[in-house]
Amino acid sequence: MNKEINSGTYSVLFKQKGFDYLSDHLSDINYSKIFIHVDNNTKKNCLDLFLNKINLEKYELIESKDGEENKNIYSCLKLWEIISDKNGDRNSLIINLGGGVVSDMGGFIASTYKRGINYINIPTTLLSMVDASVGGKTGIDFGILKNQIGTFYDPQMVIIDPDFLKTLQKNQISSGYAEILKHSIIYDLKTFKLLIKNDKTTHDINTIYDSVSTKNSIVLIDKKEKKERKSLNYGHTLGHAIESYFLNTKKKLLHGEAIAIGIVLASFISNKLFDFSFEHVISIKKHIDLIYSKIEINENEIDSIIDLLIHDKKNSHGKINFVLLENIAKPIYDVQVKTNLIKESFKYYLS
| Of residues 92 and 121, the one with the C-beta less far from ligand GLY | 121
Q: Which is nearer to ligand GLY, 34 or 181 (CB)?
A: 181
HSE-CB at 120 with a 13 A cutoff on CA atoms is: 24
Residues contacting ligand GLY: total by CB under 6 A: 5
- Nearest distance, CB of residue 152 and ligand GLY, angstroms: 10
- The 3-state secondary structure of the chain reads CCCCEECCCCEEEEHHHHHHHHHHHHHHHCCCEEEEEEEHHHHHHCHHHHHHHCCCCCCEEEEECCCHHHCCHHHHHHHHHHHHHCCCCCCEEEEEEECHHHHHHHHHHHHHHHHCCEEEEEECCHHHHHHHCCCCEEEEEECCEEEEEEEECCCCEEEECHHHHHHCCHHHHHHHHHHHHHHHHHHCHHHHHHHHCCCCCCCCHHHHHHHHHHHHHHHHHCCCCCCHHHHHHCCHHHHHHHHHHHCCCCCCCCHHHHHHHHHHHHHHHHHHHHCCCHHHHHHHHHHHHHHCCCCCCCHHHHHHHHHHHCCCCCCECCECEEEEEEECCEEEEEEECCHHHHHHHHHHHHC
CB of 261 to ligand GLY, least distance (A): 17
Smallest separation (angstroms) from ligand GLY to the CB of 248: 23
Residues 199-218 contacting ligand GLY, CB under 6 A: none
Among the listed ranges 7-15, 54-62, 130-138, 254-262, the one in contact with ligand GLY (CB under 6 A) is 130-138
CA 312 to chain centre: 16
Among 183, 229, 285, 287, binds ligand GLY (CB under 6 A): 229
Smallest gap, in angstroms, from Cβ of residue 147 to ligand GLY?
A: 9
What phi and psi values does residue 297 have, to the nearest 5 degrees?
-130, 115
**339 CB neighbour count, 10 Å cutoff:** 12
135 part of the interface to ligand GLY, by CB under 6 A: yes
Q: Residue 232 or 242: which CB sits closer to ligand GLY?
A: 232
Residue nearer to ligand GLY on the CB measure, 12 or 232: 232
Stretch that binds ligand GLY, among 27-35, 40-48, 129-137, 158-166 (CB under 6 A): 129-137
Does residue 240 interact with ligand GLY by CB under 6 A? Answer: no
Minimum distance from residue 70 beta carbon to ligand GLY (Å): 19
Interface positions, 44-103, toward ligand GLY (CB under 6 A): none
* φ, ψ for residue 315, nearest 5 deg: -75, 145
Q: Are 246 and 198 in contact (CB under 8 A)?
A: no
Q: Taking contact as CB under 6 A, which single stretch among the options 55-63, 131-139, 203-211, 332-340 is the one that binds ligand GLY? A: 131-139
137 contributes a contact to ligand GLY by CB under 6 A:
yes
Residue 131 sits in the site that holds ligand GLY (CB under 6 A) = yes
Q: Does 107 bind ligand GLY (CB under 6 A)?
A: no
For residue 25, the minimal CB distance to ligand GLY (Å) is 24
- The answer to whether 154 contacts ligand GLY (rule: CB under 6 A) is no
Using rule CB under 6 A, residue 255 touches ligand GLY: no
Choosing from 181, 232, 265, 305, the residue that interacts with ligand GLY (CB under 6 A) is 232
Q: How far is the CB of 232 from ligand GLY (least distance, A)?
A: 4
Binding residues for ligand GLY (CB under 6 A)? 131, 135, 137, 229, 232
